[in-house]
Structure 1
Amino acid sequence: MDSSTFDPGSYSTLKLDLDEGILTLTVDRPEALNALSQQVVSELWKAFTAIQDSCTHDAGWPVRGVIVTGGGGKAFVAGADIREMASMGPDSAAEYARSMQGVTLLIEKLPVPVIAAVDGFALGGGCELALACDFIYASEAAQFGQPEVNLGLVPGFGGSVRLPQRVGLGPARELIYTARRIDAAEALRLGLANRVLPSRDELLAAARETLQEIAGKAPAAVGLAKQSIAGATGRPTNQGLEAEAEAFREAFTTDDMREGTAAFLEKRKAAFTGK
């Protein structure tokens, strides 16, 4: 893996800060409320591909968790880039949608946890980016919504798939059909957000604390747990159980499983290596 891929100088629309295994990825287009231009999408693909490549024992697991947030103070990500979309035809629009869908699939497949730290607007594509993350933590200033029908559009980056998975079919339909915005308290009530914090600083601190807690666990086991949940989501029970059994079997191939069980029996702290 090329270490320059985590160098902030490698990106023009993102800021990356890797500190003690926690990578904070900030979408940084405050002049456009961090809208997901095609360049942002391309750089998100590059960053998450680099994270994926780092999640091996050979690479030393330099990244144990990711915080995704927005810069500028007003928005997490306000949505897709409307200026760019206004000139797109059907084929180029489909390509744009599929490229961002690819980013969201990368996030879901990462073997490390990803927390969306939402402060300000998470609308349209911004809400869809957050939905692809494992957890959503929100500040009291956060606002969520899928306002695409206001523009004669529909969600294109996964909202029609992941929003029902998070909040249920009925609430998701209502949010998408009405284009209604909801605040952080309502997002928490619906199960869209995991936690609500008073301020941006407390939001980022809480996300970091959770990821540091997870970083102390066996890396491969965390990745397999994420894989198991993804493999079971939306599938019949028997297929979900098969995905879980396969992840359980794979855990028994790791050194960390032997270390974890030995440490438990010997009443000591486990020393996980990621093998």
Structure 2
Amino acid sequence: MAALMQTFRVQAAHRGGACSLMAALSCTRHFDIIGAVPRAGRLHGPAAAARHYSSDPKDDLRVRYLDGEDDGIVVVGINRAKAKNAISKNLVKMMFEAVEDIKKNNKVRSVIFCSLVPGIFCAGADLKERAKMQQSEVGPFVSKARALITELGNLPVPTIAAIDGAALGGGLEMALACDIRIASNTAKMGLVETKLAIIPGAGGTQRLPRVISVSLAKELIFAARVVDGTEACRLGLVSKSVEQNKSGDAAYLQALELAREINPQGPIAVRMAKLAINQGIEVDLSTGLAIEEACYAQLIPTKDRLEGLAAFKEKRRPHFKGE
């Protein structure tokens, strides 16, 4: 976790500059952060920076576009320590802006959603903020949070949720909208809304049964049950559970390694594969095969396809440009 925080340390000289952290979501190239994320084997060490939390709402979300060998990987870190990363109006606003920036950037290959707060991924809705809302405000806010999570699911590139702590309610719904979930064995996950006499309102009742079985999803939601990373992996809620490390970022490190596996593959092909899977899984097989054929057809005229063939013939590593 200390190494992960190092990734997001903003240079002091730029903290008061024209491009604030909030503005950085729309002017990423001027968002100066110390150092790129090193290879996994060098993420720990005495040089790792201490955590510094801020009450400034501009720090609620930190977005890092990695460079060097990791160019194309984006790390989105939630940073609301005092609120256990609960989903607030400001966080929803910032995440919408970050998602829009990612959608517009054709160089993005994959996105990791994680937490910069130890022991927590996201505790769900900010109930303290919710209690201060007028009743007329609650519905529109829930609708906007639901729309945000839908937008996460609609990102055209692979998305990975790195769950190193508790992901409850809306926090788990956020993770469910990602393509892949990786958790530490000590992470806690659950859709616990029935404890508050409500139901999951940001896709949980629909996405969880699609990820695990319908009966298991009903059991977890009806009982507001919380499971750890090991049990979540057994149920199929996460694709991998890894033993938590002393830094508290084991799931993040595993997610980063996965993103690095995805990075060298044909970027248009990966996007088309995601589209074919997401669209095809909702229809009958015959229609799904037609969707696959249409997605495949989009790849035939690409320069990347020709590069892949040439690299295979010449027995070298391909250099895909997303063209």
TM-score, structure 1 as length reference: 0.91
Confirm or deny: 8 A CA contact 1:232 1:241 kept in the other structure: yes
Q: Give yes or no for contact 2:164–2:250 (8 Å, CA) kept in 1.
A: no
CA deviation string 1:160-219 (max 9, x = no partner): 111001011111111111101011111000111111111233322211111011110111
Question: 3-state DSSP class of the match of 1:209?
Answer: helix
> Is the counterpart of residue 246 in structure 1 residue 270 in structure 2?
no
Superposition deviation, residue 265 in structure 1: 2.9
Decide whether the 8 Å contact of 2:163 with 2:252 is kept in 1. Answer: no
Answer yes or no: is 1:40 the counterpart of 2:91.
yes
Q: Which moved more, 1:93-102 or 1:187-196?
A: 93-102
Between the aligned residues of both structures, percent identity stands at 35
In the alignment, structure 1 residue 28 sits paired with structure 2 residue 64? no
1:122-168: CA deviation from partner (whole Å, max 9, x where unpaired): 00000000001111111122000011011111111110111001011
Q: Aligned equivalents of 1:133 and 1:6: distance in 2?
A: 27
Provide the C-alpha distance between the structure 1 equivalents of 2:212 and 2:82, rounded to a whole number of angstroms. Answer: 31
- Identify the residue that residue 10 of structure 2 maps to in structure 1: none
Output one character per residue of 1:32-58: Cα deviation in whole Å (capped at 9) or x when no partner. Answer: 100001111111110011011012xxx
Tell me how far apart the structure 2 counterparts of residues 2 and 223 of structure 1 sit (CA, whole Å).
Answer: 23
Of residues 29, 32, 50, the one that matches 2:101 is 50
Amino acid at match of 1:250: Q
Name the structure 2 match of 1:15.
Answer: 62
Distance 1:253 1:98, change over 3 A: farther
Aligned to 1:58: none
Aligned position for 2:309: 261
* Residues 208-257 of structure 1: per-residue CA shift (max 9 Å, x gap): 11101111011111111111111112222222222211111111131111
**SS across alignment from 1:86:** helix
Is the CA contact 1:144–1:187 (under 8 Å) kept in the aligned structure 2? yes
Flag the 1:201–1:83 CA change in 2: closer, same or farther, 3 A.
Answer: closer
Gaps of 5+ in 1: 56-60
The match for 1:193 is 238
Alignment correspondent of 1:236: 284
**Given the superposition, is the C-alpha separation of residues 4 and 181 from structure 1 closer, same or farther in structure 2, using an over 3 Å criterion?**
same
Which sits farther off after the overlay, 254-263 or 162-171?
A: 254-263
- Give the structure 2 partner of residue 84 of structure 1: 129
**Aligned residue for 2:18?**
none
Following the alignment from structure 2 to structure 1, what is the Cα–Cα distance between the partners of residues 256 and 136?
A: 40
In structure 1, the partner of 2:262 is 214
Counterpart CA distance in 2 for 1:52 and 1:222 is: 15
- Measured in 2, the distance between the counterparts of 1:143 and 1:223 equals 31
Contact 1:27 1:71 in 2 (8 A): yes
SS in 1 for 2:261: helix
Name the residue aligned to 2:161: 116
- Which amino acid in structure 1 is aligned with residue 31 of structure 2? D
- Alignment-derived partner of residue 5 in structure 2: none
Aligned to 2:197: 152
> Which structure: larger Rg?
2
Q: CA distance change for structure 1 residues 261 and 93 in 2, over 3 Å: closer, same or farther?
A: farther
Gaps of 5+ in 2: 1-24, 34-56
Question: Which consecutive segments of 4 or more residues in structure 1 shift more than 6 A?
Answer: none
SS at match of 2:85: coil
Match of 1:4 among 28, 33, 40: 28
TM-superposed deviation, 1:88: 4.4
Q: Secondary structure at the match of 2:77?
A: strand
Paired amino acid for 2:117: G
| Equivalent position of 2:110 in the other structure | 65
Residue in structure 2 matched with residue 224 of structure 1 by the alignment: 272
| In 1: Cα distance, 2:141 partner to 2:30 partner | 25
Residue type of the alignment partner of 1:212: R
Aligned-CA RMSD value: 2.0
Letter in 2 for 1:163: L
Give the corresponding residue for 2:21.
none
1:174 to 215, 219, 222: 219
Say if 1:184 and 1:209 are closer, same or farther in 2 by CA, change over 3 A. same
Q: Highest relative contact order (Cα 8 Å, sep 6+), 1 or 2?
A: 1
For residues 113 and 40 of structure 1, do their structure 2 counterparts lie closer, same or farther at Cα, with a shift above 3 Å needed? same
Please identify, of 181-190 and 85-94, the stretch whose mean Cα deviation from structure 2 is larger.
Answer: 85-94
Contact (CA 8 Å) 1:78, 1:123: kept in 2 or not?
yes
